[in-house]
């Protein structure tokens, strides 16, 4: 079986940036990576995602929200995660059932036992080998998350996000061997260094990564891509 890694944190913690970097690093090291997100990752799951995040659906009840997340998850596990793990791939997922514990139990107030039972069904028994929680001050994270507008969950506000963060901390206390906190304060480069150090326990190949050189190459690549995008834009305007 492959290795199953999930990434968690409150909205705006910077995990999407870190996931892109760690995927690029692992592929550079020769790993076969499958990168996914929750809710989503399949045609059916993406349709459920649209329902869950639509700001017009503020009347959605916690129980309905919980069941929609689990339905999306079950489809993703059976259709993508399970087959990928059987091919010895490294499966990296942006959110998984610890999000449900933090958001639906800690923040929404549903029973922890009910949420755990639902998570067992939705995950089809697939538990991550390691879960990284990016921990960041709530006010800082929410300001980042809502710069371009807020989805349904981001629109719940700072107190809601505070309860979510408390849920993640509690989850880490309950399962310290699986759930590892990474300080998400600082530059993306600083956070990435902490991530590599923490994740190398589960993915030893990361011990051979020269973090500084890798980040330099990524910065060069981003500059090249930005130049190409600018050139294409200028060509389109001239046409």
Q: What pLDDT is stored for residue 231 in this prediction?
A: 65
* pTM (predicted TM-score): 0.90
Return the minimum-mean-pLDDT range out of 8-12, 71-75, 94-98, 114-118: 8-12
Q: At what angle do helices 62-76 and 112-122 cross, to 10 degrees?
A: 30
Percent above pLDDT 90 for the chain: 79
* Domain edges within the chain: 3-208, 209-239
Sequence-separated (6 or more) residues with CB below 8 Å from residue 75? 42, 44, 45, 48
How far CA 134 is from CA of 18, 21, 110, 124, 130, in Å, comes to 9, 14, 23, 25, 13
pLDDT tens profile 116-135: 999 999 999 999 999 999 99
CATH architecture of 3-208: 3-Layer(aba) Sandwich (3.40)
Sequence-separated (6 or more) residues with CB below 8 Å from residue 15? 7, 8, 9, 94, 132, 134, 184
């Amino acid at each position: 079986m492959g290795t199953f890694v999930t990434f968690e944190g409150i909205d705006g913690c910077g995990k999407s940036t870190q996931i892109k970097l760690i995927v690029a690093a692992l592929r550079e090291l020769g790993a076969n990576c499958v990168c996914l997100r929750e809710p989503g990752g399949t045609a059916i799951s993406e349709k459920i995602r649209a329902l869950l995040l639509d700001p017009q659906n503020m009347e959605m009840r916690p129980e309905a929200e919980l069941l929609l997340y689990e339905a999306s998850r079950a489809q993703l596990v059976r259709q993508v995660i399970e087959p990928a793990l059987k091919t010895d791939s490294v499966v990296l997922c942006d959110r998984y059932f610890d999000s449900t514990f933090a958001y639906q139990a800690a923040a929404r107030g549903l029973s922890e036992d009910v949420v755990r039972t639902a998570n067992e069904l939705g995950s089809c028994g697939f538990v991550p080998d390691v879960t990284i929680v990016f921990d960041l001050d709530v006010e800082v994270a929410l300001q980042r998350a809502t710069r371009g507008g807020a989805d349904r969950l981001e629109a719940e506000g700072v107190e809601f996000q505070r309860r979510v963060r408390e849920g993640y901390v509690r989850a880490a206390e309950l399962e310290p061997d699986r759930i590892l906190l990474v300080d998400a304060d600082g530059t993306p480069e600083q956070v990435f260094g902490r991530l590599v150090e923490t994740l190398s326990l589960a993915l030893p190949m990361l011990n051979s990564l020269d973090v500084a050189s890798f980040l330099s190459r990524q910065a060069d690549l981003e500059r090249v891509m930005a130049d190409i995008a600018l050139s294409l834009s200028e060509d389109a305007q001239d046409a």
